[in-house]
């Protein structure tokens, strides 16, 4: 017997399913399934993925943790029922940071849980970032200064939506908007509110069910020619930001009085 075989036997019992029913769900014969449950054979990786999806338990827990010792209902589920967060290490076993380039970002929604996709990303090591899983995403647009096109936001993986802190910035991976970097404002029911630091952009809500991943801002990678905006043009831009903010506050006051 193995931890894996013990776990699938236990989980089948929790689901109150027969071995035949589980075999049918996996599109295999009963005898083949029984061999896995008895520990006489090990399933191929593609079947382990199917089993983990069927039980909604991540692969790492399924093969390495005796989940009979824990309440199944309290086992952490990653966002979007993702099966496993691929983690790449160097030859010394050190955690590395994958760089999701602008080109690679186009396929991130399809590849974020694919080990092959993650392995093909460029990688760097930042020794001052530890105790967590980090990934770098490309900045896009001008909604979150000082990040501009060509720079990268390094984020630390967040496991639970409830761990988000108001006022902190995050990279949100969503089904509708892909990769976006915004400041978390708060949560109301099944939606979270986010804002841009550039006041020209209106705040908006994201349904929780559309969120695939969340990465909290940890550091930034800027292009070689990056310079902070201290020019006269930047001062003018800041003036317009403040003006827009004042107009919005005035509109809110007028709207409040008219109610």
pLDDT in tens, 26-51: 999 999 999 999 999 999 988 998 89
In this structure, what is the dihedral angle of CA atoms 17, 21, 23, 28, given to the nearest 10 degrees? -170
> Partners of 173 in the beta sheet?
179, 213
Q: Using CA atoms, how far apart are residues 2 and 70, in angstroms rounded to an integer?
A: 17
Q: Using CA atoms, how far apart are residues 178 and 244, in angstroms rounded to an integer?
A: 27
> Partners of 123 in the beta sheet?
98
pLDDT of the residue at 152 = 94
pLDDT of the residue at 79 = 46
Q: Using CA atoms, how far apart are residues 201 and 253, in angstroms rounded to an integer?
A: 19
- Global pTM? 0.59
pLDDT of the residue at 81 = 40
pLDDT of the residue at 85 = 55
Ranges in the chain, pLDDT < 70: 1, 70-95, 113-115, 225-247, 254-259
pLDDT of the residue at 156 = 92
């Amino acid at each position: 017997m193995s931890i894996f075989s013990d776990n699938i036997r236990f989980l089948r019992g929790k689901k109150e399913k027969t071995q035949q029913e589980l075999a049918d769900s996996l599109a295999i014969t009963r005898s083949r399934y029984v061999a896995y449950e008895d520990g006489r054979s090990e399933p191929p990786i593609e079947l382990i993925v199917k089993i983990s999806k069927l039980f909604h338990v991540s692969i790492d827990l399924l093969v390495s943790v005796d989940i009979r010792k824990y309440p199944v209902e309290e086992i952490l589920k990653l966002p979007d029922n993702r099966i496993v967060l691929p983690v790449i290490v160097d030859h010394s076993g050190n955690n590395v940071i994958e760089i999701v380039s602008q080109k690679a970002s186009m396929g991130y929604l399809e590849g974020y849980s694919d080990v092959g996709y993650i392995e093909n990303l460029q990688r760097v090591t930042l020794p001052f970032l530890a105790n967590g899983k980090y990934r770098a995403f490309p900045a896009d647009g001008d909604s979150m200064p000082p990040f501009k096109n060509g720079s990268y936001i390094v984020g630390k993986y967040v496991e639970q939506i409830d761990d988000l802190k108001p006022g902190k910035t995050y990279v949100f991976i969503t089904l509708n908007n892909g990769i976006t970097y915004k400041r978390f404002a708060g949560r109301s029911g099944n939606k979270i509110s986010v804002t841009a630091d550039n006041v020209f952009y209106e705040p908006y809500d994201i349904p929780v069910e559309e969120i695939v991943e969340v990465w909290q801002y940890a550091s930034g990678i800027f292009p070689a020619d990056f310079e902070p905006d201290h020019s006269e043009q930047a001062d003018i831009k800041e003036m317009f930001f403040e003006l827009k903010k004042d107009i919005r506050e005035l509109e809110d006051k007028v709207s409040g009085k008219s109610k």
